[in-house]
Each structure stands twice: as C-alpha cells, then as structure tokens.
Structure 1
Amino acid sequence: MMTSGKRSCWDIILSKKEASEDTPTRADGMPKFNEQQVRKAYVHMLYEVCKRFRTSPEVPMLAALYCHRFYAAKSMVRNDRFTVASAAIFLAFKVSDIAWPLRHVLEACYSSYKRLPEEDVKKVFMDHQEYYRSLKMKVLQAERALLYVIGFDFKPDMPTKHFLSKIKSFEHLDKEQLTHLRQICWNFANDSIKTTLWIQYSAKELAFAFIQVTAKLSNIDLPNRKSNNDDQDWYETEGVSIIRMQECTNDLLDLYSDKKKSGEKRPRAKQANADAPPAKKQAPKPSEDGMQHPDSSMHVPATPELSSAITATDSEHCKPCPGQDDHHDANGFGTGKSVDGFAGTAVHA
C-alpha cells in the first residue's frame, strides 16, 4: 500500500491485490465476478440518475469514487449497495452545489433501481409515507457511514482535471487531434470508473495513462525523450514514473481484453449474504458536544421493501437477468432476506 505525505483516504493507493482480491466482500464469500457485476450495477445507476438531473460528467464519477472507497473498507454483502449508492449520489450533489431535495434524488434512484417510471415511484412514496420515511432514514444513515469512511474529505483529486489540463498544453497538435484526445480520454474515464482502477492509481497517473494509450492507438505524437533531446518522457516531467505508467496502461488495456472474454461461462451468483452472522452492536461514543455520533465501524442498513401486494407492479420490472439466481435482481443488487426483516442485503460492518 502506497501513501503520500498527507494522511487522507484519497492518498491511500491500493495494490491490485488489495483492490480486487483481498476485499471485505470477497472475504464474506462473494465470488469475484459477482463483486465486479455489483460494482458495475451501482455505477450504472449513478450514471442514470445523473443523466436525469443533467449534471456534469464528473458528478457520477465522484459518487462512484465514494462507493469504491467505501467498499474498499466495507463488504457489499453486509452493507446494502442501493442504499450506499443513493447516499453517494446525494453527497456528490451537495459537494457539487446541485440543490435537489433528497426526496427527488431518492425518486430517481428508486426508479433506476426498480426499473419503474418516476411517476409510479412518486405515487408509491406518496401513498406509503412510512415506507418512504424508512428509506430516507436508511439513506441518511448510509451517508454518515460514507462520510466516516472517506474521513469527511469530500473532494478527491479527479483524473478529468489532469487530462483536460495536460491536453491543452500540447501546442504542437492541431484542433482535431486535441478534440480526439479529449473524447477518447473521456471514454477511458467512463469505462475505468466501473472498476477499481481509480483506487489503484492516483488521479494524475490515470489521466496520463488515458492520454498515453489514446495517443498510441491514434498515432498521435507526444513529446518524448527523442523529440525533447531530454532524458524524460512527457509524463515523467510531471512526476509519473515509467514503471507506474506501464502498469497503469497495461491495466487499462486489460479492461478491454477482459470484455472480449465475456462469453466465457461465469459462476452463478450465490446467496452470500443470507447466512451472514449478525454483528455485535456497539453504542457510539458520546462526543465533546454531548451528542451521539456514529463511528467508522457503523454499518449500512438494508433497503426496505414494500409488501408483495403493494409492489405487484414491480415484479415484472425486477426479474433476474439470465445467469443470475433469485437472490440478485436485474440491476445486480442483492435481494436476499436480511436480519432486519426487510428483503434486502444483510447489513453488518
């Protein structure tokens, strides 16, 4: 594990093994493929919600990065994915100065999660106020858990800032080449945010890897040792080593080679959460102001579900996808019965 001088959670760069193999989720028995699918599912939901609110492209990336950092420390099996993702997008909206009430955000999240028209969701929330209040409280609790995991550091460094700035500095390229570089780098950002790469590399390393791969694939010449009559390539002058650049570009290209292998038979999702042992409850310590505040070990409660009679119209929208079992819905979120008595993911730290 690599860290820089300042102790922020965003300065903690995980190794590939830590980020994708030795995770709390894998320790709880979820297969690697299922963990990857859940990650892609909540990122997809975040993008759908942000599209409805017409946010900038950085907002869903910020929310996804919150989720990735959270699940680097907590298990997907024991902390409800829909609830965490909803809290992450609400927090990202606030950090980005997007003033939408929580109710509107939850309507959009629930619509994406259940694959229901938003008008139907509004009616459900209006007709079942107790259900809505329960969902709202769980998302607010998830937001507090998220804040503690990220150490109340709301604004991580983003690759988008670095590649946009660096591309501008390539004065030897024409307008068409610069536009092409920007567009493909955005594509790399949108694809890689669905993975753990954003917590395996710094924002600058990722941004420069996007540029390097794009330039090579597009036959665009960038400043190098020969053109500069120097002993450094363009990214080395910015503090990115050759080794890190090679590692990052290789991992980035691996994303696309893995897609070609997607036809391989994958293990069926298994019910990894139903038998999770209940966690010991610990009362939060009182703070100096005399109030009870949650600590970083708190867990995220499961998303409540309405009764089958109320959600009869939901069922046709929530059938498992081919290759999934009955404990995973069409969005890749768990639906096994939790210890709370709700139909949702088990919720322990």
Structure 2
Amino acid sequence: MIYTAIDTFYLTDEQLRDSPSRKDGIDEATETALRVYGCDLIQESGILLRLPQAVMATAQVLFHRFYCKKSFVRFSAKRVAASCVWLAGKLEESPRKSKHIIFVFHRMECRRENLPIEYLDVFSKKYSELRHDLIRTERHLLKEMGFICHVEHPHKFISNYLVTLEAPELTQEAWNLANDSLRTTLCVRFKSEVVACGVVYAAARRRGISLPEDPPWWTVFDADEAGIQEVCRVLAHLYSLPKSQYIPVYKDNDSFTIRTPDPQASKESPASAVASDKGTPVPSSSSQEKDSVTKAAPNKVKEKSDDEAKPLLAELNGKQDPAASSKSEKSELGVDRSRERERERSRGRDRDGRGRDSDRDSRGRDSDRERDRRRRSRERSSGHSDKEKSRRQSSRDRGDYYSSHSSREKDRHRHH
C-alpha cells in the first residue's frame, strides 16, 4: 500500500501549551507574534524570489513544526525562516541559491527596520557567517523532523470540495483564507481536510452563500463541526492582531546587516519592546548619543580655550610654562625632522635626474656611433659599386675595340 500523507506530526492543545518556548519563559502572545512574523518573512521573501505559492506554504509549515520542538530563545526566527525557504525550494523542485536568499533577507531587514540600504559583499566575513549559519540551521531542521519533510496542503482539497458543492465562486476567497491559515498553528493541529472544510465554511459565510446542511456537507469530507469552528475562531483571532513586529528574544546577534550589536542596547531591548507595545515612544541609542555629544561639546571647547590661554598668560607674566616649553621643543624637533626629510627627498630627486641625464647622454653617444657605422658601411658599399661599374664599362670598351679591329682585318683580306 502507498501512503500519500504522513499523519505523524499533529499536536494537541496541551502539547502546544507546553512548548519549548513556554518553558523558556515566553508567553503565548509573544510566541504567536513571532510565529506570524516568521511566516510574513517567508511570504515576502517568496514574492521577491519569484517562488510558487507551494514553496512558501511548505516553508511556513516547516517553520511551525520546527518551533514545536525548539524555542525562539535558542534559535532566531529570522535565520530559521531563511533556512525554511531554502529547504522548501529544494523539496518543491524550485531551488534558489543561498546567495540570493541571504541578499533578499538582508534587504527585507533594512526596509523593515528603516536602515540604509547597504551592499553585502560576498567576500566579506559577514556574508560567510550568514551562509554557514544558513547551512547549519538547515541541518537542525532536518534533524528535528527526522528527515520527514512531506507536507500536504489544504489547497488541493478546496478545489475538489467546491466542485462537489457546485460553488466555484468561493474558490478565490477560500484560497486566500487557506494562505492566511498557514500563519497560525492550524497546520500542526488539524489535517488538511479539516482546514479545507473550515476555510470553505468561512468563505461561504463571508460571501453569504448557503451550503447544504441536512445532512451537513462537512460529514462527507471526513470533518467535524468542532474542528471547523476552531478553524474559524483561529482565523478571526489572526485578523484581529496588529501588524507583526519582531521581538528580540534571541540571545545572540541574529541580524542580516553588517551593524554590530551594542551590549547596552541588547540589555535594554526587552524594555524597549514592552514600551513600544504599550505605545510609549522610546528614544533610540543614536539620539541619546547625539545628546551626549552636544552636551560634551561646550565643555571641550572650554577646555581648549583654557589650554590655549595658559601659555599666553605665562608669557605676559614673564614666566614660561614647562609643559608649553616641552610642547614647543617637540614641535621644533618635528619641524627640523620634516625639513631634513624634504632635503633628503630633493637630493634623491637630483640624483635620479642626473642618472637619467647620464643615461640619455650614453644613449645619444651610442646612437651617434651607430649612425657613423651605418654611414661608413653605406660609403663602402657605394665605393665598391662604383669600382664594379667602372670595371664593367672598361671591359665593354675593350670588347668593342677588339671586335671592330677584327672586322677591319677581315675586310682587308677580302680585298687582297
């Protein structure tokens, strides 16, 4: 027999209340906010990476399953979300490079926390640390799940159920509700069939479309009324929550940016988070530093003015301050040394110039000698050529003389 689903990873309400995050002192509201924040990161990163919706849904389910066994205090929600996207892309046959995932999460953090958009160099120490952490977190994910990463989504059941119920106009609304349900723990509490029935029921109530109730339509699809009501309640609670914000409960630095964490700021981060939840403005560390600098600036100006006034008063009184004298001596020594350095540099430049001139003279002499040699060789070659020409001319004249004399002798013999 071939099983298409693995129903071994579903938890009860008691197990969720006794999660590892609760044991580390995190309350239910904080855990819910961090789960929603991590799923929002996964959804946004999937859009930026142009991933299919199935990849984002699988990554969100892996995110919830992992934090059912590990705590938010020991593992960063940002780093785990990035690793879930990387692993889900491989599982759904739409892989993305680790470099692209790191760049996307780095850019999202800069935008969410109103930081200047900076370039993350792939040869920097920060990038290598992020990449090693991405690989290490993926190993933790696979280890905690026992390498069983099969995920069955409610989306495929929604289409079949709506075709059976003859209500195709509810398809888009039900799909939207199914995508939103992945931000909650419904995926680790109920089977996909129950979640699909719950979102269909909620979509019908929103659109005001009646579905068969005698007998109830959900009994045909192996769902119960209690599960459907719980799905609707969790979705209503999700829509009542404000926009998710990151709560720094992780012990170490989990930032994707190059900034270095301030120990005082990290100590005060829980208080600032609580104050921001209550609505009270919290001054940032940069504003506090600016205030301290502005307060300390007049004091520094006064100290400088007093230091400058001391030697002037001493000269007016006819007394010389030892500290001022030592400073003046040091300054004079520094001036003398700088002058000596300048002299040495000028001498070196003169030597280099002389050497260059001598090289130029030697090169000129060599070139003149070469020209003389070429000229002599040309003269010699021209002299030899003239001699050859004269010799040839004389030989030709002799030949003409002998030929003419012989012809005359022949004529004489003929007449005799």
TM-score of the superposed pair, with normalisation by structure 2? 0.56
Q: Does 1:236 align with 2:223?
A: no
Q: Which residue matches 2:273? A: 324
Q: Which residue matches 1:104? A: 100
Structure 1 distance, partners of 2:107, 2:237, is 33
Structure 2 distance, partners of 1:239, 1:82, is 37
What displacement does 1:247 show? 3.1
Structure 1 distance, partners of 2:175, 2:247, is 35
Q: Please, which moves more after superposition, 60-69 or 90-99?
A: 90-99
Q: Does 1:12 align with 2:9?
A: yes
CA gap 1:93/1:258 in 2 versus in 1, 3 angstroms: closer
What displacement does 1:200 show? 0.9
Bigger Rg, structure 1 or 2 = 2
Q: Which residue matches 1:169? A: 164
Structure 2 distance, partners of 1:178, 1:246, is 25
Secondary structure, counterpart of 1:46 in structure 2 = helix
How large is the Cα RMSD of the aligned pairs?
Answer: 3.8
Structure 2 distance, partners of 1:162, 1:259, is 23
Q: Which residue matches 2:87? A: 91
Q: Does 1:75 align with 2:71?
A: yes
State the AA in 1 paired with 2:143.
Y
The CA deviation string for residues 236-287 of structure 1, in whole angstroms up to 9 with x for no partner, is 22322x3xx3233234234325644769xxxx9987554xxxxxxxxxxxxx
Structure 2 distance, partners of 1:190, 1:270, is 24
Q: Does 1:45 align with 2:41?
A: yes
What displacement does 1:14 show? 1.3
Q: Does 1:215 align with 2:204?
A: yes
Structure 1 distance, partners of 2:171, 2:248, is 42
CA gap 1:64/1:258 in 2 versus in 1, 3 angstroms: closer
CA gap 1:308/1:79 in 2 versus in 1, 3 angstroms: closer
Q: Does the CA-based 8 Å contact 1:107-1:118 persist in structure 2?
A: no
Which of 238, 243, 247 is equivalent to 2:227? 247
Q: Does the CA-based 8 Å contact 1:67-1:88 persist in structure 2?
A: yes
State the AA in 2 paired with 1:71.
Y
What displacement does 1:56 show? 2.1
Structure 1 distance, partners of 2:49, 2:70, is 29
The CA deviation string for residues 281-321 of structure 1, in whole angstroms up to 9 with x for no partner, is xxxxxxxxxxxxxxxxxxxx863666647x99xx9xxxx89
Structure 1 distance, partners of 2:254, 2:56, is 21
What displacement does 1:145 show? 0.8
Q: Does 1:158 align with 2:153?
A: yes
Structure 1 distance, partners of 2:66, 2:241, is 28
- Larger helix share, 1 or 2: 2
The CA deviation string for residues 174-228 of structure 1, in whole angstroms up to 9 with x for no partner, is xxx413x1122122122221111111111111011111222234332334435xx
Q: Which residue matches 1:206? A: 195
Secondary structure, counterpart of 1:157 in structure 2 = coil
The CA deviation string for residues 78-112 of structure 1, in whole angstroms up to 9 with x for no partner, is 11211111110001111122132110111112221
Structure 2 distance, partners of 1:326, 1:110, is 26
Structure 2 distance, partners of 1:103, 1:261, is 33
Q: Does the CA-based 8 Å contact 2:103-2:120 persist in structure 1?
A: no
Any unmatched runs of 5+ in structure 1?
Answer: 1-5, 227-232, 275-300, 329-349
Any unmatched runs of 5+ in structure 2?
Answer: 278-416
Secondary structure, counterpart of 2:148 in structure 1 = coil
Structure 1 distance, partners of 2:89, 2:23, is 32
Q: Does the CA-based 8 Å contact 1:45-1:113 persist in structure 2?
A: no
Q: Does the CA-based 8 Å contact 2:162-2:168 persist in structure 1?
A: yes
Which of 186, 197, 203 is equivalent to 2:175? 186
What displacement does 1:137 show? 0.8
Q: Does the CA-based 8 Å contact 1:270-1:327 persist in structure 2?
A: no
CA gap 1:204/1:115 in 2 versus in 1, 3 angstroms: same
Q: Does 1:55 align with 2:51?
A: yes
Q: Does the CA-based 8 Å contact 2:21-2:70 persist in structure 1?
A: yes
Q: Does the CA-based 8 Å contact 2:73-2:250 persist in structure 1?
A: yes
Q: Does the CA-based 8 Å contact 1:163-1:185 persist in structure 2?
A: yes
Which of 171, 181, 184 is equivalent to 1:195? 184
Aligned length: 269
Secondary structure, counterpart of 1:182 in structure 2 = helix
TM-score of the superposed pair, with normalisation by structure 1? 0.66
State the AA in 2 paired with 1:96.
E
Structure 2 distance, partners of 1:269, 1:98, is 28
More RCO (CA 8 Å, sep 6+)? 1
Structure 2 distance, partners of 1:45, 1:271, is 15
What displacement does 1:57 show? 2.0
State the AA in 1 paired with 2:192.
A
The CA deviation string for residues 49-78 of structure 1, in whole angstroms up to 9 with x for no partner, is 111122222221210110100000110111
